[in-house]
Amino acid sequence: MRFVDEFRDADKAHALAAKIAGLCEPGRRYKLMEVCGGHTHTIYKHGLEDYLPESVTLVHGPGCPVCVIPMGRVDDAIHLAAQPDVIMTSFGDMMRVPGSHGSFFDAKAEGADIRMVYSPLDSLKIARQNPDKRVVFMAIGFETTTPSTAMTVLRAAAEGLANFSIFCNHVTIIPAIKAILDSPDLRLDGFIGPGHVSTVIGCRPYEFIAREHGKPVVVAGFEPLDILQSIYMLMLQLSEGRSEVENQYTRVVPWDGNLAALKAINEVMELRPYFEWRGLGFISHSAMRMRPAYSAFDAELLFHVPGVRVADPKACQCGEVLKGVLKPWECKVFGTACTPETPIGTCMVSPEGACAAYYNFGRMNRRRVVEVSIS
Amino acid sequence: MTGRTAPDAAPGARSGWVDEALREHEEHTRAAMSRPATAAPEREQQVLDRIDRARRRRPKVREERITMSHGAGGKATRTLVEAVFLDAFRNPLLEPLEDSAQLHLNGSRVALTTDSYVVSPLFFPGGDIGDLAVNGTVNDLAVSGATPLYLSAGFILEEGFPVADLNRIVASMKAAAAVAGVQVVTGDTKVVQKGKADGCYINTTGLGVMEHDVSLGVATAQPGDAVIVSGTIGDHGVTIMLARGELDIEADIVSDTAAMNGMIADLLGATTGVRALRDATRGGVATILNEVATAANVSVVVTEDAIPVRTEVRGASELLGIDPMYVACEGRLVAVVDGAEADQALAALRAHPLGEQAAIIGHIAEEPPGIVLLKTAFGGTRIVDLLVGDPLPRIC
């Protein structure tokens, strides 16, 4: 298949792997963080770690949209969905995320009208078709999905649609990366930058990582060769003692981002003073809310939202996993009490969550398995 | 930048299963935790072993209500079937949970199976609920090694359903039965109020006789066996998804719905090396391979490049963030065959019109037991696990 197979070529991967191995200094260990959950998914889905020398470890970062949603927000959303005249709409990833009394799936089974959509524009369609209902879109995601929510609100405003609103949970990536860089228990050598987020925000916002923290950043695409090449680019910077922001994903990411998308976000939304992240706690200016001019579309103002903060189960170590301090299997409840069937933590829910990716794709002794599959 | 300024969390009331799961977990790990600390690779292996033990525990339905996941053919379905139905009805005939039960009646071996059909939309490119209801049940008999003979047909119709549509469905059932060589010999009709069903649901029960002297079962798979699929995978599921019209994607694909009893008879006639046959319906090929790995306590090693997938199906799956390995087929066979007979089996399948694109996709190995391994086209290795529920699309 064109535009896909070219980026999964095993021969090219072998060549890159050899170059990466050649850049490893004997005795030195390298810890690289892929910030984005989409990268985590690709890495596990294609078995990319098989190509890396033992001294290079990938640390899975916080960029998984549903993984960072705290339990209290899920409870709030379910409370909205349970109103008799409400149709709640959301992306499929959200359906299994556990609140303190179950997930969207459970609420749906109890009678709430919750529908899965592929785009917020689909929610708008549902609102048009159901004028006697109030349609709420559970908006989640980083800067990748924020523009589409903003565009949907602009469209709804232009149409004068009165029965549509947004429950806004959009978060921003830079404060999360800052939180990780400030975290004392983690030593990283470099970052694989989030490709899709960067199509919107561009590469400039990462410059502080290179300048102030001395860590190289390579913005990467989502095919396995993209990631392998970005690892090579990071290793090359490290071996040459450079720390710069580089763009591997030039076919999609413009250096300055997408100005039209940023304008749309800025028109409709503003930064919240603070927002709770699952496992990371409260982070200042790390999420978006609707601007007063668009309050007619803000579910948090239109409805009574309980807003109760719910503590994570004590044994859940999602925060440590999101920060990359723990590998998924190092969490106390991984795979026993917390599984994809009965997730306790959000990292076990989304296919982009580090725990789910490891459980579903990587739950094996890599050394033993490589021997088997070669035979 | 981070400021933990907000008040502490209220002690959130949590649904009981979380606490229960944690308690259970503590019991299981207390022994392991008391062991002295070990190096990381060993610790990872210990965790893997612990997970393996946890996966072999008796399944338990933790949800208070049925969710859509319970019907998706993955882990949740298996848990429901084992914890509720098998637990209540347990008997040696039911226990193998094969596609049909094999009974001895007055000295002859017969196979019995049943299936309900609730597909939406009722009509889709390549078929409709009618031929699906015949082919699906015929296939469940055929993969047990039985020759399908008789079907029952039960209809649950919604008030207001067009009679013209019912006629169309019944006509395609008639045609499908003629192709498969079976007769519909008994039936039932119920009508429910508008809104209590979605147009038309059909249940069919099938009866067949065991003519071949074979005893097929996924538990008999052995290291060295070959794994074969009879054609391109995922056609049916992707066709249905696109036919719903919610995705605004168009592709030139049709359902693979077909009765496979003819092809299976040819296969069983050509070789005695067949150990297990399955039709890859809900949960797709991945689910079948996991059943083999678990039942026979072996590893199934498959090569991504060898799996036949239509470009249209691959493209749609890439766009939707799903894996064709989990997408339903309605006329595709997964066969586990003695390695020495693999070429003969492949030739027999390819000689049949339904099996022209049959391919050997992998083999059975000893290690690691209970696990399906995929050698990716990219050159890496990963696990192919059971899905929890419906394949959920990724959002970015």
**Cβ distance of B382 and A309 shorter than 8 Å:** no
d(CA B161, CA B155): 12
**Cβ distance of A336 and B17 shorter than 8 Å:** no
Q: CB–CB of A94/A86 below 8 Å?
A: no
- Chain A segment 9-48 residues within 8 A of B by beta carbon are 9-10, 13-14, 38, 41, 44-48
d(CA A345, CA A322): 11
**Cβ distance of B380 and A351 shorter than 8 Å:** no
From chain B, pick out residues whose CB is under 8 angstroms from the CB of A274.
3, 5-6
From chain A, pick out residues whose CB is under 8 angstroms from the CB of B10.
308-311
Structure tokens at A210: 């290179």
Q: CB–CB of A28/A3 below 8 Å?
A: no
Alpha helices in B129-283 (DSSP H): 129-142, 163-180, 235-243, 261-270
Distance from CA of B326 to the nearest CA of A (A): 13
Query: In the 8-state DSSP scheme, what is residue B8?
Result: P
From chain B, pick out residues whose CB is under 8 angstroms from the CB of A329.
44, 47-48
pLDDT of residue B25: 61
Instruction: For chain B, say whether A366 makes contact (Cβ under 8 Å).
Output: yes
User: What is the interface size between A and B, counted as CB pairs within 8 Å?
Assistant: 241
Instruction: For chain A, say whether B24 makes contact (Cβ under 8 Å).
Output: yes
Q: CB–CB of B99/B278 below 8 Å?
A: yes
d(CA A150, CA A330): 39
Instruction: For chain B, say whether A180 makes contact (Cβ under 8 Å).
Output: no
d(CA B28, CA A21): 40
d(CA A288, CA A148): 14
pLDDT of residue A368: 57
A31-76 pLDDT per residue, tens: 999 999 999 999 999 999 999 999 999 998 888 888 889 999 999 9
- Chain A segment 233-272 residues within 8 A of B by beta carbon are none
From chain A, pick out residues whose CB is under 8 angstroms from the CB of B67.
105-106, 108-109
Instruction: For chain A, say whether B164 makes contact (Cβ under 8 Å).
Output: no
Instruction: For chain A, say whether B367 makes contact (Cβ under 8 Å).
Output: yes
Instruction: For chain A, say whether B319 makes contact (Cβ under 8 Å).
Output: no
Which of A341, A344, A374 to mutate to probe the B interface, most B CBs <10 Å? Answer: A341
Cis peptide leading into A84, omega within 30 of 0?
A: no
pLDDT of residue A101: 87
**Cβ distance of A93 and B15 shorter than 8 Å:** no
Q: List, in order, residues 6 or more apart from A184 with CB less than 8 Å away.
A: none
Distance from CA of B369 to the nearest CA of A (A): 11
DSSP string, B17-47: HHHHHHHHHHHHHHHHHTSPP--HHHHHHHH
Distance from CA of A173 to the nearest CA of B (A): 13
DSSP string, A22-59: HHPPTT--EEEEEEEHHHHHHHHHTTGGGGS-TTEEEE
Q: List, in order, residues 6 or more apart from A43 with CB less than 8 Å away.
A: A34, A49, A58, A224, A227, A357
pLDDT of residue B2: 38
Tokens 């903003």 correspond to what residue?
A150
Average pLDDT, chain A: 91
Distance from CA of A121 to the nearest CA of B (A): 12
pLDDT of residue A370: 55
Q: List, in order, residues 6 or more apart from A169 with CB less than 8 Å away.
A: A69, A73, A138, A139, A140, A287
User: In chain A, whose CA is at the least distance from the CA of B388?
Assistant: A341
Which of B326, B381, B386 to mutate to probe the A interface, most A CBs <10 Å? Answer: B381
Tokens 């538990």 correspond to what residue?
B219
Nearest CB partner across the interface for A100, out of B13, B43, B389:
B13
Instruction: For chain A, say whether B249 makes contact (Cβ under 8 Å).
Output: no
pLDDT of residue B88: 95
pLDDT of residue B245: 77
Q: Assign residue A187 a region: left if phi > 0, alpha if psi is -120 to 50, beta otherwise? A: beta
**Cβ distance of B368 and A369 shorter than 8 Å:** yes
Distance from CA of B210 to the nearest CA of A (A): 37
Instruction: For chain B, say whether A284 makes contact (Cβ under 8 Å).
Output: yes
User: In chain A, whose CA is at the least distance from the CA of B62?
Assistant: A342
User: In chain B, whose CA is at the least distance from the CA of A308?
Assistant: B10
From chain B, pick out residues whose CB is under 8 angstroms from the CB of A285.
1
Instruction: For chain B, say whether A308 makes contact (Cβ under 8 Å).
Output: yes
**Cβ distance of A364 and B365 shorter than 8 Å:** no
Nearest CB partner across the interface for B392, out of A93, A225, A332:
A93
Of the pLDDT bands very low, low, confident and very high (cuts 50, 70, 90), residue A279 is confident
pLDDT of residue A287: 96
**Cβ distance of A309 and B6 shorter than 8 Å:** yes
Q: What kind and span of H or E run contains A106?
A: helix A104-109
Where b means 16+ CB within 10 Å and e means fewer, A338-363 reads bbbbbbbbbbbbbbbbbbbbbbbbbb
Which of A142, A223, A329 to mutate to probe the B interface, most B CBs <10 Å? Answer: A329
Please give the backbone phi and psi of residue B146, each rounded to the nearest 5 degrees, phi first.
-95, 155
Distance from CA of B370 to the nearest CA of A (A): 11
Strands A56-63 and A86-90: unpaired
Distance from CA of A139 to the nearest CA of B (A): 11
Q: Is the dihedral of CA A228, B379, B357, B145 positive or negative?
A: negative
**Cβ distance of A93 and B67 shorter than 8 Å:** no
Q: Which of A14-28, A203-217, A353-367, B78-92 has the lowest mean pLDDT?
A: A353-367
* 3-state SS, residue B166: helix
Q: Is the dihedral of CA B164, B168, B171, B173 positive or negative?
A: negative
Nearest CB partner across the interface for A274, out of B6, B66, B311:
B6
Strands annotated E in chain A: 30-36, 56-63, 86-90, 113-116, 134-141, 164-170, 190-193, 217-219, 245-247, 269-271, 274-277, 281-284, 288-290
Alpha-carbon radius of gyration of chain B = 23
Task: Report the complex ipTM.
Answer: 0.86
Q: Report, as an integer, the average pLDDT of A154-168.
A: 97
Strands B200-209 and B147-158: antiparallel
Identity of residue B282: R
**Cβ distance of A365 and B44 shorter than 8 Å:** yes
- Chain B segment 259-318 residues within 8 A of A by beta carbon are 299, 301, 311, 314-315, 318
From chain A, pick out residues whose CB is under 8 angstroms from the CB of B43.
330
DSSP string, A315-369: T--HHHHHTTSS-GGGSTTBTTTB-SSS-SSGGGTSTTSHHHHHHHH--S-HHHH
Q: Which of A173-177, A199-203, B344-348, B384-388 has the lowest mean pLDDT?
A: B384-388
Distance from CA of B364 to the nearest CA of A (A): 11
Nearest CB partner across the interface for A8, out of B299, B377, B394:
B377
pLDDT of residue B389: 64
Identify the segments of chain B with pLDDT beneath 70.
1-41, 389-396
pTM: 0.87
